[in-house]
Structure 1
Amino acid sequence: MTTSNTSYARPQQSPWVGMVLFSGVLLILLGAFQVIDGLVTLFRDDIKQATADHLAIPINFTAWGWTHLILGALTVLVGIGVLRGNTFARAAAVLLAMVSTFANLVYLPVYPFWCSIVVALNIICIYAIVAHGRELRA
């Protein structure tokens, strides 16, 4: 009986694969928060209207609530796709993270701490997915 000691060389994964997976989980979490924000804006717009004087642009709160709700749901779905290593989901994740960043920059004068955190997390997600997302396929 002959045994073969053939070892198959697997490509070495960088530690950034974990960061890309973390980005997928983070996208799901950020999307869920955005859905909650959209629901609050739709059902309790009196909370948001008190801060409208601080915004640089006028906002229709019903439209803004639906926008957050839809973007949040899409972000959750894209985050799941990133965890599965889907190429289209990675491209959509970068696009949605960019849109979320700009949307949070609008709210920056009103919620500076929260919006700064969301913008920073979006930028981390964008970097991890763009620079190291291809490594998930392996």
Structure 2
Amino acid sequence: MSDERQTAWIGWGWFAAIVILISGAIEILFGILAILLPASQYFTTSEGTTVYYVSLWGWWHLLIGMVLVAAGIALANGRTWARVFAVIVVAVNAVSQLLSLPAQPWWSIIVFALDLVVIYAITVHGRELRAYGRRLTP
């Protein structure tokens, strides 16, 4: 029997895991689209400044998306190391979204805000996932 209580806050942990999985899936989709269907070789803003090379940025999105999905699955399974791993990966994704501001400002702001909420959920309420994960394993 675990000495940790499970409260209603476990929903925050599940919220974090689900948001990480969805975010990872969208990042994978963005990555594949950027790699296979680049509109031009470089992305430019309305002012005409070059932001980044689309194909290279697509590979980055694909990579971070796969890592986010792995972190979400591990977090949902209640692994202790997954909380630290997920916070690091989500923080990297948040920085990546800030770098994407010129290309997609509204989407980047929304994902950045969700990343901050996920980091809060994991750091404040993540222990309960560990207690729940112990009950699931034989």
**CA spacing shift, 1:88–1:119, aligned 2, 3 Å:** same
Would you say the 8 A contact 1:25–1:79 is kept in 2? yes
Matched, 1:21 2:9: no
Residue from 96, 114, 118 that aligns with 1:125: 118
**CA spacing shift, 1:86–1:59, aligned 2, 3 Å:** same
Q: Give 1:109 shift.
A: 2.5
In structure 1, what is the equivalent of residue 33 of structure 2?
Answer: 40
Deviates more, 1:49-58 or 1:31-40: 49-58
**CA spacing shift, 1:41–1:134, aligned 2, 3 Å:** same
Amino acid of the residue matched to residue 131 of structure 1? Answer: V
Deviations along 1:22-62, one digit per CA (max 9) or x if unpaired, are 11011000000000000111011116845456698742322
Cα distance in 2 for partners of 1:56, 1:99 equals 25
TM-score scaled by length of structure 1: 0.83
Cα distance in 2 for partners of 1:58, 1:109 equals 7
Cα distance in 1 for partners of 2:28, 2:17 equals 17
**CA spacing shift, 1:21–1:54, aligned 2, 3 Å:** farther
Name structure 2 gaps, 5 residues minimum.
132-138
Cα distance in 1 for partners of 2:12, 2:57 equals 31
In structure 2, what is the equivalent of residue 94 of structure 1?
Answer: 87
Deviations along 1:67-103, one digit per CA (max 9) or x if unpaired, are 1101101111110110001112111111111111111
Any idea what SS the aligned residue of 1:59 has?
strand
Would you say the 8 A contact 1:41–1:48 is kept in 2? no
The number of equivalent residue pairs is 131
In structure 1, what is the equivalent of residue 136 of structure 2?
Answer: none
Deviates more, 1:45-54 or 1:98-107: 45-54
- Root-mean-square deviation over aligned CA pairs: 2.5
Cα distance in 1 for partners of 2:42, 2:124 equals 39
Matched, 1:104 2:91: no
Q: How does 1:44-83 map to 2 (within 5 A)?
A: 44-46=37-39, 49-52=42-45, 58-83=51-76
Name structure 1 gaps, 5 residues minimum.
1-7
